[in-house]
Structure 1
Amino acid sequence: MKKWFLVILVIINTVFVSCITNKDVVYLQDHGDGTDGIPVLRELPKPYKVQVNDLLSINVKALDEELTRIFNPVQTTSTAGGNNGQSQASLYFNGFTVDDHGKIKFPILGEITVLGYTTTEIEEIVKKELLKQYFKETAELFVTVRLPGVTYTVTGEVNGTGIYTIFEDRVNIIDALANAGDISLTGNRKDILIVRQYPDGQRIHHIDLTDIKAMNSPYYYIQPNDIILVKPLKRKVIGAGQTVMQNFATIMSILAGMTSIYVLTKSL
């Protein structure tokens, strides 16, 4: 009988320890290590540098609009300010894709190397080449180069896996996850994986979103084409419940099963 009692105690302890607590689900907690409230970012994220397969929107303006017509795609109603999905599709056909050699093909100017440059630097490169090859030096040109928002992928223990685009220049990882329906209750917020593209290949980074120090991480702000992977908590893997009541139901089921086995063995 003592053995059965010890087994029951072990089961109860294991299941209740497996409950998901506030420490597992609350974002940006201050763990009392001297940080008073939200920490000030040490530095803003560095400007994004264009990678292979990025899609660029380039617009050229001048006093004489006829001279710039060839450089700018026709603006449809959806592109000018309607449905975001249609705008994205339009840009896919009318924008400039960075090829495997880090170049784009621009009207009149031909191939331009953009790999490793920021959008501000590309604006200066395009403007310089336009003045050199097409416009007069005295022409008043205005060139804008933009990325079509931040496109990223979310998968794993979230409420809405998929590929998303947020039409902002800077997007932090919490905004990105909220846009995907947030992490489910059984998702591991303490070890989020970010797969990021670099010129020499992909790398995997880790960030703990339950710690307020995450705001100082270089991976707090996501980049275009990032993949965010959310792993399940270990307690989900072992099949434990998410709440005390669920765990209580699990205990009762186990005890009922053990009682049946005990009665059967005694009657034999």
Structure 2
Amino acid sequence: MLLVAFCFTTSCVSNKKIAYFQDIQTVNQAQLENATKFTEPIIQPDDILSINVFTLNPQSGAIVNQAASNTVLGGGANTAVASQQVTGFLVDRNGEVELSLIGKVKVAGLTTFQARELIREKAAIVYKEPNVQLRFANFKVSVLGEVNSPSTYTLPNEKVSILDALSLAGDLTIYGKRENVLIVRDNNGKKEFARLDLNSSEIFNSPYYYLRQNDVVYVEPNKRKVSASNSAQIQTVGVIASVVSVIVLAISSFK
């Protein structure tokens, strides 16, 4: 009877701990209009950039676009973390990328838009009316803890919110602590930590709502997960005790 009661109490989870943005009906439009705006991420050393220079002569442009393949960790939706080859230009420790015929270009500290304009200006010295496309080739975030598909995700664009990352990871499990999601961010060599409450619409005002390159999202287990683990241990101990009892009785019957 006590076991049944224990299982019943651990299986009940309040809707207040599961539903997202519970106060959204009380938030007016003006508050939402003041939500955090997306800011472009800054290029840093060890980033890999996809850079393509288009010219009037496709063959000459192809020389500039000869990028190297770099091995990075990254997965996609419903995939495990694995090494994969990413083609692009590595930003060296001096913050520079080296392009054929154009030379070294300092891009660290710039946004992708600023870096694109800078490379276009330098390419214009060599080529007539060049067009440049530039984006991150290894923009990745890691999602760990109580989600359905924890992994490191390499993303095709740099505008990624916490909700996007959790969606890629298959959403939180029933055991995920929605009111205390941890964000770990590396900012100029220093670690930053922030907590987000998915139950509240205040998440849209957080400077951590939009993720940055190499952010780690960690979802803690709630009390129900701990209780479920304890219950599983109790059941395991009970099974072992029953087996031992049967063995003892069997041995006793042969004496």
Native 8 Å contact 2:21 2:200 kept in 1: yes
Higher strand residue share = 2
Equivalent residue, structure 2, for 1:116: 109
Residues in 2 aligned to 1:39 and 1:241: alpha-carbon distance in whole angstroms = 42
Residues in 2 aligned to 1:110 and 1:188: alpha-carbon distance in whole angstroms = 50
Structure 1 residue 67 and structure 2 residue 56: aligned?
A: no
Task: Give the share of equivalent positions with the same residue, in percent.
Answer: 31
For normalisation by structure 2, the TM-score amounts to: 0.73
| 1:155-174 equivalent positions in 2, closer than 5 A | 155-174=144-163
Pick closer, same or farther for the CA change 1:43–1:184 going to 2, 3 Å.
closer
Equivalent residue, structure 2, for 1:230: 219
Question: Structure 2 residue aligned with 1:207, among 178, 187, 196?
Answer: 196
Structure 1 residue 127 and structure 2 residue 120: aligned?
A: yes
Secondary structure (helix, strand or coil) at the match of 2:97 reads strand
Native 8 Å contact 2:36 2:207 kept in 1: no
Pick closer, same or farther for the CA change 1:184–1:43 going to 2, 3 Å.
closer
After superposition, the C-alpha distances for 1:137-166 in whole angstroms (9 at most, x for unaligned) are xx1111111113742111111111111123
Equivalent residue, structure 1, for 2:47: 54
The residue type equivalent to 1:174 in the other structure is L
Q: Structure 2 regions of 5+ residues with no counterpart?
A: 68-75, 239-255
The residue type equivalent to 1:124 in the other structure is E
Residues in 2 aligned to 1:19 and 1:97: alpha-carbon distance in whole angstroms = 51
Coordinate RMSD, CA, aligned: 3.4
Residues in 2 aligned to 1:204 and 1:109: alpha-carbon distance in whole angstroms = 40
Residues in 1 aligned to 2:137 and 2:169: alpha-carbon distance in whole angstroms = 18
Pick closer, same or farther for the CA change 1:231–1:40 going to 2, 3 Å.
same
Structure 1 segments (4+ residues) deviating >3 Å: 15-19, 238-242
Equivalent residue, structure 2, for 1:143: 132
The residue type equivalent to 1:67 in the other structure is S
After superposition, the C-alpha distances for 1:206-230 in whole angstroms (9 at most, x for unaligned) are 1111101111211112122111111
Residues in 1 aligned to 2:152 and 2:62: alpha-carbon distance in whole angstroms = 33
After superposition, the C-alpha distances for 1:222-261 in whole angstroms (9 at most, x for unaligned) are 122111111111342244899xxxxxxx9xx9xxxxxxxx
Equivalent residue, structure 2, for 1:178: 167
Residues in 1 aligned to 2:129 and 2:84: alpha-carbon distance in whole angstroms = 31
Secondary structure (helix, strand or coil) at the match of 2:33 reads coil
Question: Structure 2 residue aligned with 1:35, among 27, 32, 48?
Answer: 27
Query: 1:193: Cα distance to partner?
Result: 0.8
| Bigger-Rg structure (1/2) | 1
Native 8 Å contact 2:41 2:158 kept in 1: no
Query: 1:53: Cα distance to partner?
Result: 1.9
Residues in 2 aligned to 1:100 and 1:188: alpha-carbon distance in whole angstroms = 38
Native 8 Å contact 1:19 1:240 kept in 2: no
Query: 1:115: Cα distance to partner?
Result: 1.2
Native 8 Å contact 2:96 2:105 kept in 1: yes
Q: Structure 1 regions of 5+ residues with no counterpart?
A: 1-7, 75-82, 243-249, 254-268
Equivalent residue, structure 2, for 1:258: none
The residue type equivalent to 1:162 in the other structure is S
Native 8 Å contact 1:51 1:198 kept in 2: no
Equivalent residue, structure 1, for 2:252: none
For normalisation by structure 1, the TM-score amounts to: 0.70
Equivalent residue, structure 2, for 1:78: none
Pick closer, same or farther for the CA change 1:126–1:179 going to 2, 3 Å.
same
Structure 1 residue 98 and structure 2 residue 91: aligned?
A: yes
Secondary structure (helix, strand or coil) at the match of 2:142 reads strand
Query: 1:17: Cα distance to partner?
Result: 8.5
The residue type equivalent to 1:185 in the other structure is I
Native 8 Å contact 1:27 1:211 kept in 2: yes
The residue type equivalent to 2:12 in the other structure is C
Secondary structure (helix, strand or coil) at the match of 2:184 reads strand
